[in-house]
Amino acid sequence: MWVKICGIKDLESARLIAGLKPDAVGLNFFAKSSRCVGLETAEKIAAELSENVDCVGLFVNHELSEVQEISQRCQLEFIQLHGDERPEFLAELLEFNPKINIIKAFRIGEAGFDSVAGYLEECTRLSIRPFACLIDADVPGEYGGTGECVSWDGLRAAYRPEWPPLILAGGLKPANVGTAIQAVGPWGVDVASGVESSPGVKELSLVKSFIENAREAD
């Protein structure tokens, strides 16, 4: 089970969380988020953790040049696109760096999974494929980190086996991550608000429990 702790804002927290051995940490570059990290701090985190923990850069409707510059400066191997980026945007990123792993986030509400199917069909037309798809709950005006859950039963029924690996996000916490994994059967899980004592502040004991519970359920 691939486990990502998202929204790390400082080097000391990154060091402590890395010691708990998640597979990845998320560095949020969305300026409007309470979890946004400065570029210089992100560079230090990425440089220190690169050998043991993957750093995933999270972007929301950034300019292509910004994503390229930040990913180069932080030597990112993973990029998570959490906005309204079209498949053509992914194609340009992969042309710039064919080795980059792109996680495309989708916010699922009442409209269901038609948008995911259409998006992935367009990716196929462009001869590209996201490394993984992250599924989060659709909350109007928000791009994630809300603590709201997507329907687990609906997700398991709708997500097609031929699609990229599934990363489950939205409303996960230590108390429910095991149940969520058993209900959905994802490739990975991603948490931000569910392991925080306040917005943007990670609680180490919650992070530890989340990782342990996720691995045990897998």
34-88 per-position pLDDT tens digit: 999 999 999 999 999 978 899 999 999 999 999 999 999 999 999 999 999 999 9
Cα torsion angle, 114, 120, 124, 125, sign: positive
- Examine the residue annotation and report whether 6 is marked as an active-site residue of this protein: yes
* Residue 122: other Cβ atoms inside 10 A: 15
Place of tokens 């931000």: 192
Question: Domain tally for the chain?
Answer: 1
Residue 52 has which token pair? 């043991």
Range of the domain at 78: 2-217
How many CB atoms are closer than 10 A to CB 138? 16
CATH code, 24: 3.20.20.70
The pLDDT, as a whole number, for residue 182 is 96
- Among residues 55, 74, 136, 190, the one annotated as catalytic is 136
In whole angstroms, what is the distance from residue 172 CA to residue 216 CA? 15
| CA–CA dist 128, 140 (Å, integer) | 29
> What's the pTM value of the predicted model, to 2 decimals?
0.93
Among candidate residues 6, 55, 74, 133, the one labeled active-site is 6
State both tokens at 199: 């917005």
Structure tokens at 206: 């919650």
